Amino acid sequence: MENKITKDMAEEELIVLRDEVSKYMIEGDLRRFNALAIKRLKEIQCYRGVMHIQGLPCRGQRTKNNCRIELLKARRLQLLARRKFPSNRHNLLFIIFFFAVRFYHIFLL
């Protein structure tokens, strides 16, 4: 088969081409397959799954010199995970108190 544009192909050639392409997993099916594989790794908490969760390289690359951006993202995620947020009621009281102090401070000046 030679290089041709699809509009220049005969109907028989298009059928052969479609049959060849249909043997492979392409586009949405391939994306869905990869996403499900990564989701499974994350659920079973294996090493590769944990590295995906943290946003770090999972194929054995070193992280001392390269993938700095991924390291910074991973550190931010770890800090957010460690931080314990108070309840919503506590947050609301803190916000009200903070603005009351700021408002009172403006009138004292």
Task: Quote the pLDDT of residue 39.
Answer: 95
Higher pLDDT, 102 or 69: 69
32-75 pLDDT tens trace = 999 999 999 999 999 999 888 888 888 988 888 887 777 777 77
User: Is the CB of residue 68 less than 8 Å from the CB of residue 76?
Assistant: no
Task: Quote the pLDDT of residue 16.
Answer: 92
Q: Which domains does the chain have, with CATH numbers?
A: 6-108 (4.10.910.10)
In this prediction, what percent of the chain has a pLDDT beyond 70?
Answer: 71
Distance CA 35, CA 41 (A): 10
Task: Quote the pLDDT of residue 12.
Answer: 93
- Provide the H-helix boundaries in 9-87: 11-21, 27-43, 47-54, 68-82
Distance CA 86, CA 4 (A): 65
Task: Quote the pLDDT of residue 14.
Answer: 92
Task: Quote the pLDDT of residue 89.
Answer: 57
Distance CA 96, CA 88 (A): 12
pTM of the model: 0.55
